[in-house]
């Protein structure tokens, strides 16, 4: 792109808008020729399709040297790699959270099942205990009855 605006037929009233009222913004280039270099353009301007607003464009930063371009491209590459790694780690984290939630639900289900088993075990112990004492009572009554019969002869 050129170093100044394309012929838009507008005059500037301040650094944020032209007289046609379309605001400008500072954007950052992501092209290999001008990596990370900032430029001013209308908010609605699309540099690829060259559509929107008055097509105003002006470099905000000074021209880069070759070594700055190489460094910026390397930094952009590293940033992209780290961004992808972060995305993968976030997916892994989401997967771990999902597994944690599944395990939490399973633990809650097993706790309920354990409580049910403990309640049943307690009920059976009470029944056994009641049956045991009932058997003793029956034996004592039989013995008393037999002693009473033996004394009556």
pLDDT above 80: residue 1: no
The answer to whether the beta carbons of residues 150 and 143 sit under 8 Å apart is no
Residue 131 and residue 153: Cα distance in Å, rounded? 33
Cα separation, 23 vs 39, whole angstroms: 14
Task: Let me know: does 53 contact 17? Beta carbons within 8 Å.
Answer: no
Q: Report how far apart, in Å, the C-alpha atoms of 16 and of each of 26, 36, 63, 80, 84 are.
A: 10, 21, 22, 31, 35
Q: How confident is the model at residue 13 (pLDDT cuts 50, 70, 90)?
A: very low
User: Is a pLDDT exceeding 90 seen at residue 43?
Assistant: no
- Token code pair at residue 100: 């944690």
pTM above 0.85, yes or no: no
Assigned token pair, 46 = 């699309």
């Amino acid at each position: 792109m050129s170093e100044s605006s394309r012929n838009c037929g507008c005059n500037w009233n301040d650094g944020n808008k032209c007289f046609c009222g379309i605001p400008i913004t500072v954007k950052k280039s992501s092209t290999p020729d001008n990596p990370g270099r900032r430029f001013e353009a209308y908010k609605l301007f699309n540099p690829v399709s060259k559509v929107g607003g008055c097509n105003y464009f002006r470099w905000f930063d000074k021209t880069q040297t070759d070594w700055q371009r190489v460094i910026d491209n390397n930094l952009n590459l590293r940033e992209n790699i780290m961004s992808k790694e972060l995305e993968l780690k976030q997916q892994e984290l989401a997967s771990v959270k999902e597994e944690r939630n599944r395990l939490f639900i399973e633990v809650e289900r097993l706790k309920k099942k354990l409580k049910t088993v403990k309640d049943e075990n307690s009920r059976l112990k009470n029944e056994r205990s009641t049956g045991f004492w009932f058997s003793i009572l029956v034996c004592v009554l039989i013995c008393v009855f037999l002693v009473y019969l033996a004394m009556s002869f």
